[in-house]
Structure 1
Amino acid sequence: MDSLINIVLLSFLVVTAFAIIRMNDLFAVVMLSGIYGLLSASFFVAMDAVDVAFTEAAVGAGISTLLMLVVIAQTGRKEKTSRHKPLLALLIVLITGSLLVYSSFDMPHFGDAHAPIHEHTSPRYLNDSMEETGIPNVVTSVLASYRAFDTFGEVVVIFTAGLGILAILTIGRRKEDDDEIASINDSMHEQHLVIRIVAKILIPFILLFALYVQFHGDFGPGGGFQAGVIFAAAVILYTMLFGLSTARKVINQSFIKLIAATGVLLYGSVGIVSIMSGGNFFDYNVLASDPVAGQHLGILLIEWGVGCTVASVMIIIFFNFSGRLELHQRNERSKNREPS
C-alpha cells in the first residue's frame, strides 16, 4: 500500500512538472507550482518526514506562491513566445542530469537497512538525543543542537537575501502617493468588505498558530523556520487585503529590519556565550548548571532567533516587491494623466 501511494504521488509530481514546462500562462504556472509543493509535502508525509513536509507546505506551497503572484502583477500574466532554440541550455541540463543519475548509483538503495545512515547515524540520534538534549522531537534536536552551526549558516543566508532585496528593490516614497493609494484602498473597502472582515477574524488565529509552532517545535513538527513563514503569511494577507500603505502604517519597516538583524545576532550570540562559558561554539551544555537545561535554553534562544529573522526577511521581500508594483502603477497613472 505504501509503494502504491508513493507511485501515485510521484506520478502526480511528474505530470505537474511537465504541465509547468508546457504552460505559457504564468498565473497557471504559479498555481501549478503551489500544487507541486503540496504534492511534495504529501510525499514527505508518506515518508514520515513530517517536519520537512510542514516546511514544504509553508514555504513551497504557501508564501512562495504569494511572492510569485506579486511578481506576475509586475511582469504580466503571459510568457512571451521565444523564437530561439535553447539547444545549449538543453544540452547542459541533459549533461547535468546524467551526472546526477550516474552519481546516484553509488548511493545505498532506497530503504536499505544496511545503509550507513541506518547503521550509524540514525541509531546515534534516536537512542541518545533524548538523554543528551531532553528534546522529544529528534528533528529539532538535530537541527538546533547537533548541527546548530549549519543551521546558523542557513539563517545567515536568509538574512543576506533580505539585504540583497533591500539593496536592489528599495524605492523612495512620497507622501502624496501614500495619500492617493490610501484613497484607492478606501474605495475598494466596500468591494471586498466580506473578505476583509473574514481576514480580520482569521489573522489573530494565524499569528497565534505561528507562536504555537514556534514554541511547540520541541515536541512536534515546527520551529523557527515554519513559524516565521506562517507569521509573515499573516502579515502578507493583511497587506494584500488592506493595501501596502495601510500595512506600512501598522508595521514599521525600520523595526522589521531591526528584528531581522536581531534574530541573527541572537543566534550567533548563543555560540559566543557558549565559548565564553568554557564550551565549544553552540555547546549548550555550559549555558546552565544542568546540561539538559542548558540544551533547552540554547535551543529556545536560537529557535527564537530563527523565527524573528525568517519572518522579518519574508515581510521585507514582500513589501519591496509590492513597492515596485506600487511604483509601476504610479507611473502608469502619471502617463494616463499626461495630455496627448
Structure 2
Amino acid sequence: MFTRNLLAVVMLTGIYGLLSACFFVVLDAVDVAFTEASVGAGISGLLMLAAITITGRKEAPKRHKPFLALFVVLVTGSMLIYGTLDMPYFGDPEAPVHQHVAPRYIHDSMEEVGVPNIVTSVLGSYRAFDTLGEVAVIFTAGIGVLSLLSLPRRRKKIKSEEATEEQMHERHMVVRIVSKALIPFILLFALYVQFHGDFGPGGGFQAGVIFAAAIILYTMLFGLDTAKKVFNPALIQLLAAVGLLLYACVGVVSMLNGANFLDYNVLADDPVSGQHIGILLIELGVGITVASVMLSIFFNFDGRRQAQAEIQAEKQQSEQEQKLKGEQDVSRTL
C-alpha cells in the first residue's frame, strides 16, 4: 500500500496470492487454490511485469490529496460491514447454505451430472450460464487491452540489432536449455488439467492460464519476434472468439434439441452422458479463450514496449546525427 517501487508491489502481490492459495488448501477448497495459484500468483504477476516495462518501475508522486475518494471508500466500507451483520456467523452449521444448497449438490450432483468433482459439476452444469458470463468478461478484457494499446508500425530489424539480441540469448544459454526441456511438460500438464477437471482439481480456467504461461515463458526467453513465428497473434485473437462461441453454441444446440439453454441432458441418449459431453465442450471453450486472451494481452504489452524502445532509439540516433552535423558545420565555418 505504501511502497512506490512497482516491482516490489508486483512481487508482494504474487506472495499474497500464493499465501491465499495455501489458505484455500487448508480449507479444502483445492479448486479455488489451484485457480489462485495459477492466476493470482502466476499469470497476473507476468502481465503486471510486462506493464511495468511500459510505465516504469517507480510510481509517480502524488500531486493531490484524494479526500473525496477516501470518503467514498469509507462510506462504501461501512455499508458493507453493516450488511455483514445480517449474515450467519462464519462456519455456522445452521446457516442456510449448509441446510439447503450444499446438501443438494453433494447428494444429487453425482446422479444428475455424473462428475466426481462437485466443483466442476456446479461450475459447468448447474451455474453454466454464470460461467459463460465470466468467459465473456475475460474476452471483453482482452478486447479492451487490444483497443487501448494499439501498436505502432514497427520498422524492420537491422543486422546489428539481431546480433545484439543473439548475444543476449547466448548469455542465458543455461536458462534457455532448461526452459526448453520444461516447456513440453508444462504444456502436457495443462492438457492434463484441462481434461481431468471432471475427476480432480482443474478445468478450463486453470488449464488456459498454465498453457499461456508456458508460451509466455518461451517468449521471454527467445524474444517476441521468435514467438510470433511459432504462435501467430492473429490466429490467437481468432481463437479467443472461437472459444467463447464454442461455449455459447453448446447452449444453442441444447435449445435446438428442445431443452433449456446449456441443458446438456439432450446432447446424448443418456442424460449423464450428455452432461459429460456438454461439460467437456464448454471447458474446452473456456481453456481456449483464457489462454488466447492471456497471450494476446502479453504480446500486446511486449510489442508496445519494443515499439517504444525502437522509437526512443530512433529519436536518440536522430539527435546524435543532428549534433554531429552541427559540429561538422561549425568545423567547416572555422
TM-score (norm 1): 0.91
Pick from 106, 112, 137 the counterpart of residue 126 of structure 1: 106
Pick from 146, 156, 162 the counterpart of residue 166 of structure 1: 146
Check whether the contact 2:152–2:307 (CA below 8 A) recurs between aligned residues. Answer: no
Percentage of pairs with the same residue:
66
Pick from 4, 19, 25 the counterpart of residue 39 of structure 1: 19
User: How many angstroms apart in 1 are the aligned matches of 2:164 and 2:136?
Assistant: 38
Pick from 32, 46, 57 the counterpart of residue 77 of structure 1: 57
User: After superposition, where does 1:283-298 map in structure 2 within 5 Å?
Assistant: 283-298=263-278
User: How many angstroms apart in 2 are the aligned matches of 1:213 and 1:78?
Assistant: 37
- How big is the shift at 1:83? 3.9
The count of aligned residue pairs is: 320
CA deviation map 1:286-334 (0-9, x unaligned): 0000000000000000000000000000000000011110111111211
Go from structure 1 to structure 2 and tell me whether the alpha carbon gap of 1:193 and 1:242 turns closer, same or farther (over 3 Å shift).
Answer: same
Matched, 1:262 2:245: no
Stretches of structure 1 that go unaligned for 5 or more consecutive residues are: 1-20
Partner of 1:192: 172
Partner of 2:88: 108
User: How many angstroms apart in 1 are the aligned matches of 2:208 and 2:162?
Assistant: 28
Partner of 2:327: none
User: How many angstroms apart in 2 are the aligned matches of 1:104 and 1:185?
Assistant: 56
User: How many angstroms apart in 1 are the aligned matches of 2:48 and 2:159?
Assistant: 27
- How big is the shift at 1:180? 6.6
Go from structure 1 to structure 2 and tell me whether the alpha carbon gap of 1:292 and 1:164 turns closer, same or farther (over 3 Å shift).
Answer: same
User: How many angstroms apart in 2 are the aligned matches of 1:112 and 1:44?
Assistant: 18
Pick from 205, 218, 229 the counterpart of residue 209 of structure 2: 229
Aligned residues: CA RMSD: 1.3
User: How many angstroms apart in 1 are the aligned matches of 2:133 and 2:55?
Assistant: 32
Choose 276-285 or 75-84, whichever is displaced more: 75-84
Partner of 1:210: 190
Partner of 1:5: none
**Matched letter for residue 118 of structure 2:** V
- How big is the shift at 1:43? 1.3
- How big is the shift at 1:183? 3.9
Partner of 1:305: 285
Pick from 199, 202, 207 the counterpart of residue 219 of structure 1: 199
CA deviation map 1:55-92 (0-9, x unaligned): 01111110000011111111111112214222222111
**Matched letter for residue 238 of structure 1:** Y
User: How many angstroms apart in 2 are the aligned matches of 1:188 and 1:215?
Assistant: 38
Matched, 1:52 2:32: yes
Partner of 1:279: 259
- How big is the shift at 1:178? 8.1
**Matched letter for residue 119 of structure 2:** V
CA deviation map 1:247-273 (0-9, x unaligned): 111111111112111101110110000
**Matched letter for residue 92 of structure 2:** D
Partner of 2:332: none
User: How many angstroms apart in 2 are the aligned matches of 1:212 and 1:169?
Assistant: 34
Partner of 2:308: 328
User: How many angstroms apart in 1 are the aligned matches of 2:130 and 2:60?
Assistant: 41
Stretches of structure 2 that go unaligned for 5 or more consecutive residues are: 324-334
- How big is the shift at 1:163? 1.4
- How big is the shift at 1:184? 3.5
